[in-house]
Amino acid sequence: MSLQDHLKIKEQDRNFNWDEKFFKLFSEVEIGLISNDPQQGPDGWPYLMCQTLTANNKTQFNGDHIESSQKVMKWLSTKGMGLVVNPQREPYPDYVFSYGMIWSFIETGFFMRPDLAQASGKVEYSSDKIYSGVPTEQYLPLYVRKVLKDFFNDQTVFNPKILMISPDEKNYDLAFSLESLGNPPENEHAGIAEAISWFLPPHYSVVLVSEQGLPKFAELYSPASLTH
Protein backbone atom coordinates (compact mmCIF):
# COMPACT_ATOMS: atom_id res chain seq x y z
CA MET A 1 0.00 0.00 0.00
CA SER A 2 1.25 3.47 -0.89
CA LEU A 3 1.19 6.38 1.54
CA GLN A 4 -1.60 8.07 -0.44
CA ASP A 5 -3.73 4.92 -0.30
CA HIS A 6 -3.08 4.64 3.43
CA LEU A 7 -4.20 8.23 3.96
CA LYS A 8 -7.56 7.43 2.36
CA ILE A 9 -8.51 5.36 5.40
CA LYS A 10 -11.25 7.15 7.32
CA GLU A 11 -10.61 8.85 10.65
CA GLN A 12 -12.73 6.40 12.64
CA ASP A 13 -10.71 3.48 11.28
CA ARG A 14 -7.32 4.90 12.21
CA ASN A 15 -5.76 3.22 15.23
CA PHE A 16 -2.38 2.15 16.56
CA ASN A 17 -1.83 -0.18 13.61
CA TRP A 18 -2.68 2.67 11.24
CA ASP A 19 -0.14 4.86 13.02
CA GLU A 20 2.59 2.24 12.76
CA LYS A 21 2.04 1.79 9.04
CA PHE A 22 1.85 5.56 8.51
CA PHE A 23 5.15 6.10 10.34
CA LYS A 24 6.92 3.61 8.09
CA LEU A 25 5.43 4.91 4.85
CA PHE A 26 5.95 8.56 5.76
CA SER A 27 9.61 8.03 6.65
CA GLU A 28 10.27 6.66 3.15
CA VAL A 29 8.85 9.47 0.99
CA GLU A 30 9.54 13.00 -0.13
CA ILE A 31 7.27 15.78 1.10
CA GLY A 32 6.38 19.27 -0.08
CA LEU A 33 7.13 22.13 2.30
CA ILE A 34 4.31 24.65 2.34
CA SER A 35 6.59 27.25 3.92
CA ASN A 36 10.17 27.39 5.13
CA ASP A 37 9.00 29.20 8.25
CA PRO A 38 7.28 27.54 11.21
CA GLN A 39 3.76 28.44 12.25
CA GLN A 40 2.28 28.41 15.71
CA GLY A 41 -0.16 25.57 16.20
CA PRO A 42 -3.39 25.75 18.25
CA ASP A 43 -1.39 24.29 21.15
CA GLY A 44 1.08 27.19 21.01
CA TRP A 45 4.06 25.16 19.74
CA PRO A 46 5.99 25.87 16.51
CA TYR A 47 5.38 23.54 13.57
CA LEU A 48 6.63 23.26 10.02
CA MET A 49 3.78 22.58 7.60
CA CYS A 50 4.10 19.98 4.86
CA GLN A 51 2.01 18.09 2.32
CA THR A 52 2.35 14.56 1.07
CA LEU A 53 3.00 14.53 -2.66
CA THR A 54 0.61 13.34 -5.35
CA ALA A 55 0.74 13.51 -9.14
CA ASN A 56 -1.68 16.44 -8.93
CA ASN A 57 0.02 18.61 -6.32
CA LYS A 58 3.70 17.86 -6.98
CA THR A 59 3.86 20.54 -9.67
CA GLN A 60 2.77 23.16 -7.09
CA PHE A 61 6.11 22.81 -5.33
CA ASN A 62 9.33 23.85 -6.98
CA GLY A 63 12.40 21.72 -6.39
CA ASP A 64 13.57 23.81 -3.45
CA HIS A 65 10.44 22.92 -1.50
CA ILE A 66 10.53 19.15 -1.97
CA GLU A 67 12.70 17.20 0.46
CA SER A 68 12.89 13.72 1.87
CA SER A 69 10.90 13.46 5.08
CA GLN A 70 13.94 12.17 6.94
CA LYS A 71 16.05 15.17 5.88
CA VAL A 72 13.30 17.52 7.08
CA MET A 73 12.97 15.72 10.41
CA LYS A 74 16.73 15.75 10.90
CA TRP A 75 16.66 19.54 10.47
CA LEU A 76 13.67 19.93 12.78
CA SER A 77 15.38 17.87 15.48
CA THR A 78 17.98 20.62 15.91
CA LYS A 79 15.44 23.46 15.84
CA GLY A 80 12.89 22.43 18.46
CA MET A 81 9.97 22.29 16.03
CA GLY A 82 7.17 19.85 15.30
CA LEU A 83 5.72 18.85 11.93
CA VAL A 84 2.15 18.97 10.64
CA VAL A 85 1.27 16.65 7.75
CA ASN A 86 -1.43 17.86 5.34
CA PRO A 87 -2.77 20.78 7.40
CA GLN A 88 -5.33 21.48 4.64
CA ARG A 89 -7.20 18.28 5.47
CA GLU A 90 -10.57 18.76 7.19
CA PRO A 91 -11.40 18.68 9.99
CA TYR A 92 -7.91 17.72 11.17
CA PRO A 93 -4.46 17.31 9.58
CA ASP A 94 -3.41 13.77 8.73
CA TYR A 95 -0.80 13.82 11.49
CA VAL A 96 0.88 16.14 13.98
CA PHE A 97 4.37 15.22 15.18
CA SER A 98 5.56 16.79 18.41
CA TYR A 99 9.20 17.78 18.68
CA GLY A 100 9.84 14.86 21.02
CA MET A 101 8.50 12.37 18.46
CA ILE A 102 10.78 13.78 15.78
CA TRP A 103 14.07 13.60 17.65
CA SER A 104 13.08 10.19 19.03
CA PHE A 105 12.82 8.94 15.44
CA ILE A 106 16.16 10.48 14.49
CA GLU A 107 17.90 8.89 17.47
CA THR A 108 16.15 5.52 17.72
CA GLY A 109 14.06 4.90 14.60
CA PHE A 110 10.87 5.03 16.70
CA PHE A 111 8.48 7.97 16.86
CA MET A 112 6.88 6.51 19.96
CA ARG A 113 7.06 3.41 22.13
CA PRO A 114 3.58 2.77 23.60
CA ASP A 115 4.92 -0.35 25.30
CA LEU A 116 7.12 1.91 27.44
CA ALA A 117 4.61 4.69 28.07
CA GLN A 118 4.32 6.09 31.59
CA ALA A 119 2.32 8.82 33.23
CA SER A 120 3.60 12.33 33.88
CA GLY A 121 2.86 14.75 36.67
CA LYS A 122 3.82 15.17 40.30
CA VAL A 123 5.00 12.26 42.46
CA GLU A 124 6.55 11.64 45.85
CA TYR A 125 9.48 9.34 46.53
CA SER A 126 10.61 7.59 49.65
CA SER A 127 14.18 8.66 50.30
CA ASP A 128 15.07 5.28 51.85
CA LYS A 129 14.27 3.40 48.64
CA ILE A 130 15.33 5.29 45.57
CA TYR A 131 17.62 4.85 42.60
CA SER A 132 18.92 7.86 40.73
CA GLY A 133 21.42 9.11 38.21
CA VAL A 134 22.12 11.78 35.61
CA PRO A 135 20.43 11.22 32.22
CA THR A 136 22.80 9.87 29.59
CA GLU A 137 23.36 11.70 26.31
CA GLN A 138 21.69 8.77 24.59
CA TYR A 139 18.56 9.29 26.68
CA LEU A 140 18.63 13.08 26.40
CA PRO A 141 20.99 14.34 23.67
CA LEU A 142 22.82 17.62 24.17
CA TYR A 143 21.00 19.35 21.31
CA VAL A 144 17.66 18.43 22.89
CA ARG A 145 18.84 19.79 26.24
CA LYS A 146 19.77 23.04 24.49
CA VAL A 147 16.28 23.30 22.95
CA LEU A 148 14.70 22.65 26.35
CA LYS A 149 17.01 25.14 28.04
CA ASP A 150 16.00 27.82 25.52
CA PHE A 151 12.35 27.08 26.24
CA PHE A 152 12.91 27.49 29.97
CA ASN A 153 14.87 30.70 29.40
CA ASP A 154 11.86 32.10 27.56
CA GLN A 155 9.85 31.33 30.71
CA THR A 156 12.47 33.18 32.81
CA VAL A 157 13.70 29.89 34.29
CA PHE A 158 17.45 30.09 33.82
CA ASN A 159 18.89 27.05 35.57
CA PRO A 160 16.51 24.07 35.41
CA LYS A 161 17.84 20.92 37.08
CA ILE A 162 17.09 17.29 36.35
CA LEU A 163 17.64 13.79 37.70
CA MET A 164 16.61 10.29 36.68
CA ILE A 165 14.72 8.70 39.58
CA SER A 166 13.26 5.25 40.11
CA PRO A 167 11.68 3.49 43.10
CA ASP A 168 12.45 0.02 41.68
CA GLU A 169 15.48 0.41 39.36
CA LYS A 170 13.25 -0.54 36.44
CA ASN A 171 10.97 2.37 35.54
CA TYR A 172 12.78 5.70 35.63
CA ASP A 173 11.18 9.14 35.68
CA LEU A 174 12.85 12.24 34.29
CA ALA A 175 12.49 14.51 37.31
CA PHE A 176 12.65 18.30 37.20
CA SER A 177 13.52 20.14 40.40
CA LEU A 178 10.66 22.29 41.62
CA GLU A 179 13.11 24.62 43.33
CA SER A 180 14.99 25.22 40.06
CA LEU A 181 11.68 26.00 38.34
CA GLY A 182 10.91 28.70 40.91
CA ASN A 183 8.56 26.60 43.08
CA PRO A 184 5.44 27.10 40.95
CA PRO A 185 2.09 26.57 42.72
CA GLU A 186 0.82 23.00 42.76
CA ASN A 187 -2.12 23.76 40.50
CA GLU A 188 0.38 24.59 37.72
CA HIS A 189 2.43 21.39 38.00
CA ALA A 190 0.36 19.32 35.57
CA GLY A 191 0.47 22.03 32.91
CA ILE A 192 4.24 22.44 33.29
CA ALA A 193 4.81 18.68 33.00
CA GLU A 194 2.59 18.59 29.92
CA ALA A 195 4.56 21.43 28.31
CA ILE A 196 7.88 19.71 28.99
CA SER A 197 6.49 16.47 27.56
CA TRP A 198 6.04 18.07 24.11
CA PHE A 199 9.83 18.21 23.85
CA LEU A 200 10.26 14.54 24.75
CA PRO A 201 9.27 11.15 23.29
CA PRO A 202 5.70 10.25 24.30
CA HIS A 203 6.82 7.26 26.37
CA TYR A 204 9.07 9.35 28.64
CA SER A 205 7.76 9.92 32.15
CA VAL A 206 8.13 13.53 33.31
CA VAL A 207 7.67 14.45 36.97
CA LEU A 208 8.16 17.55 39.09
CA VAL A 209 9.65 16.98 42.53
CA SER A 210 11.27 18.85 45.39
CA GLU A 211 14.99 18.30 45.80
CA GLN A 212 14.57 17.87 49.55
CA GLY A 213 15.76 14.45 50.70
CA LEU A 214 16.81 13.40 47.21
CA PRO A 215 20.25 12.98 45.59
CA LYS A 216 21.85 16.00 43.98
CA PHE A 217 20.22 17.22 40.79
CA ALA A 218 22.23 18.16 37.69
CA GLU A 219 21.98 21.18 35.41
CA LEU A 220 19.81 20.47 32.39
CA TYR A 221 22.35 21.99 30.04
CA SER A 222 25.49 24.06 30.24
CA PRO A 223 28.04 24.88 27.53
CA ALA A 224 30.72 23.23 29.66
CA SER A 225 28.99 19.88 29.23
CA LEU A 226 29.98 19.93 25.55
CA THR A 227 33.59 19.36 26.53
CA HIS A 228 32.94 16.14 28.47
Q: pLDDT tens digits, residue range 153-184?
A: 999 999 999 999 998 888 899 999 999 999 99
Q: Determine the Cα–Cα distance for residues 93 and 95; give it in Å rounded to an integer.
A: 5
| Predicted local distance difference test score (pLDDT) of residue 80 | 97
| Predicted local distance difference test score (pLDDT) of residue 226 | 46
Average pLDDT over residues 3-19: 95
Query: In which domain, by residue range, is 212 found?
Result: 118-227
139 and 102, same structural domain? no
Choosing from 89, 112, 135, the residue where a domain stops is 112
| Predicted local distance difference test score (pLDDT) of residue 189 | 95
Q: Which of 59-63, 197-201, 209-213, 222-226 has the lowest mean pLDDT?
A: 222-226
| Predicted local distance difference test score (pLDDT) of residue 119 | 56
| Predicted local distance difference test score (pLDDT) of residue 121 | 59
Query: Does 91 or 226 have the greater pLDDT score?
Result: 91
pTM beyond 0.75: the answer is yes
203 and 175, same structural domain? yes
Is residue 127 predicted with pLDDT exceeding 90? no
Average pLDDT over residues 195-215: 94
Average pLDDT over residues 141-161: 97
Q: Determine the Cα–Cα distance for residues 91 and 72; give it in Å rounded to an integer.
A: 25
Average pLDDT over residues 118-136: 73
What total of structural domains would you count in the chain? 2
147 and 93, same structural domain? no
Is residue 137 predicted with pLDDT exceeding 90? yes
91 and 36, same structural domain? yes
47 and 107, same structural domain? yes
190 and 108, same structural domain? no
Choosing from 82, 112, 142, the residue where a domain stops is 112
| Mean pLDDT of the residues in the chain | 91
Please write the tens of the pLDDT for every residue from 35-55: 889 999 999 999 999 999 988
